[in-house]
Amino acid sequence: LLDSLIEVAVKQNYSVQMAMDRIAMAKANLRSAQGSYSPTLGLSAGWTRQQSSGNINQVPKAITQYSSATVDMNWEV
């Protein structure tokens, strides 16, 4: 019963609608602020392989490989 009365009040009263909207915005802002309390973690990896044919100017055939990995963690206190 109380919920239905609140629903009617919100639909029929512009100032109540605005107050409910402000409450919803405040809750969203709170959730956004609380999200920064958690640590963030980033991972990336890469691998590259290069091979020369060995046919240019008598250069011997060469194979070069590169690999990398990065871990990044942030936690703002």
| Model pTM score | 0.42
Domain tally, the chain: 1
Backbone angles phi, psi at 54, to 5 degrees: 85, 5
Look at residue 76 and tell me if it is in a domain.
Answer: no
Beta strands 40-52 and 62-74 are: antiparallel
What is the residue whose two structure tokens read 């107050």? 19
Asked if the structure places residue 24 within a domain, the reply is yes
Q: Which domain holds residue 52?
A: 2-69
Residue 65 belongs to a domain? yes
From first to last of the 77 residues of the chain, give the pLDDT tens digit.
Answer: 888 888 887 788 888 888 889 999 999 988 888 777 778 888 888 888 877 766 666 667 777 888 888 888 877 66
Q: Are 42 and 72 in contact (CB under 8 A)?
A: yes
Q: Exposed e or buried b for every residue in 12-36, given b needs 16+ CB within 10 A?
A: eeeeeeeeeeeeeeeeeeeeeeeee
